[in-house]
Amino acid sequence: MTAGAEAAGKIGPEGSPRRGVARGGRADLDLYLLLALPLAFLLVFRYVPLYGISIAFKDFNLFTGRDAFDSIVKSPWVGLANFRRVFGTPDFLQVLLNTVIISFYKIAFLFPIPILVAVLLNEVRIVPFKKAVQTVIYLPHFLSWVIVGGMFLGILGIDGVVNRAVTALGGRPVRFFMDASVFRGLLVFTSGWKETGWSTILYLAAITSIDTQLYEAAEMDGAGRFRQALHVTVPGILNIVVFLLILRIGNLLSADFDQILVLYNPLVYKVADVIPTYVYRIGLGQMDFVTGTAVGLFNSVVSFTFILSANFLSKRLVGRSIW
């Protein structure tokens, strides 16, 4: 009994969870050191600047203190007065409406296209052709919107290839970048051209994880290629479809800031100015940091609410969600 107790006393501390964690920490010390730099980056450049959110609740004056941080500290609190002022302006209501409309157009018209392309490519049995198509539609994703904007300006501008052809055929040139009635369509088209390939690759990767025995069973039951795609492929990628849709809904108020900033101009502000570009123009262009911060915080809170709501509805309706 005594010997057993002594043995337990010797083995207990060595085998305790705390001792195991300590040994594991020392063994993986090099991994923790590698992780330290990214964590420091997140802390310094992501979390510390969050204190600037308080500008939205203050009568901020940049010249109140010795530096920007001191100015934030010394500026008086005004509660929700800045939000009431911003929400009461006609410009903000128009910007909010533009953001929702443009984002809805992109979800309605562009979200299903990569799914369809991925399903169709999965049915292609000529491997070289399949890889060539994947590469061609995937490459635009790596181009910046500055390059893409320059390309489409050369194609669809007043002196672009398309308008030259229209003029040569006796028609009148279309002002794609200056006509408010067609500019939103231009945004949807250019976004689809650039990003469809990226989403398609994600869906193709999800398709590769589907058990091939399901296709064999469907074929034995008499299902053709179309029914196999409809009843095997589509349900097999439903998880990734729901995941990307929830993220897209969460970014409903983002509306692709880079794209619109590059393509739009004052002639189409009425239909193309969205919350991110409005924050950029007002906050930095006019040095109105209070308005920019208030609108940006509103955008973040609403986007977070959209993600939670979309995740909840997806879980209730289709039984699939992110968490």
What does the pLDDT look like over 228-237, one tens digit per residue? 988 899 999 9
Predicted local distance difference test score (pLDDT) of residue 25: 60
Nearest to 92 by CA among 307, 302, 320: 302
Which contiguous run of DSSP H or E holds residue 296?
A: helix 289-317
Nearest to 187 by CA among 276, 280, 272: 272
Distance between CA atoms of 107 and 253, rounded to whole angstroms? 12
Contact, 298 vs 99, CB < 8 A? no
| pLDDT over 90 at 312, yes or no | no
Helices (H), 157-288: 161-168, 180-208, 212-220, 225-228, 234-236, 238-250, 257-263, 269-272, 275-279
Distance between CA atoms of 314 and 248, rounded to whole angstroms? 13
Highest mean pLDDT among 5-9, 249-253, 259-263, 290-294: 259-263
Q: Name the packing angle between helices 180-208 and 112-122 (round to 10°).
A: 40
Predicted local distance difference test score (pLDDT) of residue 21: 55
CA atoms lying within 13 Å on the CB side of residue 91: 12
Q: Is 126 helix (H, G, I), strand (E, B) or coil?
A: coil
Predicted local distance difference test score (pLDDT) of residue 1: 47
Give the pLDDT band of residue 269 (cuts 50, 70, 90).
Answer: very high
Predicted local distance difference test score (pLDDT) of residue 221: 87
Question: Between these two residues, 255 and 20, which has the higher pLDDT value?
Answer: 255
| In CATH, 83-317 is 1.10.3720.10 | yes
What does the pLDDT look like over 192-215, one tens digit per residue? 999 999 989 989 989 988 988 988
Give the pLDDT band of residue 7 (cuts 50, 70, 90).
Answer: very low
Distance between CA atoms of 84 and 46, rounded to whole angstroms? 27
Contact, 291 vs 283, CB < 8 A? yes
Distance between CA atoms of 160 and 68, rounded to whole angstroms? 46
Predicted local distance difference test score (pLDDT) of residue 194: 94
pTM of the model: 0.79
The percentage of residues in the chain with a pLDDT greater than 90, rounded to a whole number, is 39
Q: Tokens 């409809």: give the residue.
A: 230
The predicted model gives 104-109 an average pLDDT of 93
Nearest to 99 by CA among 248, 268, 278, 264: 278
What does the pLDDT look like over 66-91, one tens digit per residue? 888 888 888 999 999 999 988 888 88
Residues of the chain with CATH 1.10.3720.10: 83-317
